[in-house]
């Protein structure tokens, strides 16, 4: 469950931002997130299903001054932090089509709809991998 993952070059990455409703904590949705992730891992973790691996992150509220091109004011940082969601779910797939098929799964949809009840908003954006590397 907490093992390192290897991401093959050329895969597709889906970045899902989850913005929880006021008063809802990450602990309130932690079990539900785990159930969703297990459904995907157990049902789509092969060549036919296309799931490679995934990660779930909590927003730490850190905005990098050094990694930002234009200086960001304190007010803008607060706005950014509020709009970037509380959690991101990052998943890696062989194709976007395989990802979409996994979300059509009835059991996954039930869990995802339950999560949506705790959210103000969620959105998921797909990316093509262009580069990866590790220190030599």
The residue-averaged pLDDT of 109-115 equals 93
Mean pLDDT of 25-36: 94
CA 11 to CA 52: how far, in whole Å?
Answer: 8
Q: What is the mean pLDDT of residues 106-125?
A: 93
Percentage above 70 pLDDT, the chain: 93
Instruction: Write the pLDDT tens digit of every residue in 69-94.
Output: 777 777 766 666 666 789 999 999 99
**Helix, coil or strand: residue 112:** helix
Distance CA 9, CA 94 (A): 10
Q: Using CA atoms, how far apart are residues 44 and 25, in angstroms rounded to an integer?
A: 28
Say which CATH topology domain 15-128 has.
Alpha-Beta Plaits (3.30.70)
Residue 49 in contact with residue 98, Cβ under 8 Å?
yes
Task: Report which of residues 119 and 134 the model is more confident about.
Answer: 119
């Amino acid at each position: 469950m907490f093992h390192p993952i290897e991401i093959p070059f050329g895969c597709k990455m889906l970045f899902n931002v989850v913005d929880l409703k006021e008063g809802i904590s990450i602990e309130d949705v932690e079990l539900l997130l785990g159930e969703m992730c297990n459904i995907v891992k157990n049902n789509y973790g092969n060549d036919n299903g296309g799931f490679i691996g995934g990660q779930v992150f909590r927003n730490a509220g850190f905005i990098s001054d050094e990694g930002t091109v234009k200086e960001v004011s304190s007010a803008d940082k607060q706005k950014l932090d509020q709009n970037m969601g509380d959690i991101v779910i990052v998943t890696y797939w062989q194709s976007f089509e395989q990802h979409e098929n996994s979300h059509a799964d009835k059991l996954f949809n039930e869990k995802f709809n339950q999560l949506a009840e705790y959210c103000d908003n969620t959105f998921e954006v797909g990316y093509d991998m262009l580069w990866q590397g590790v220190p030599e």
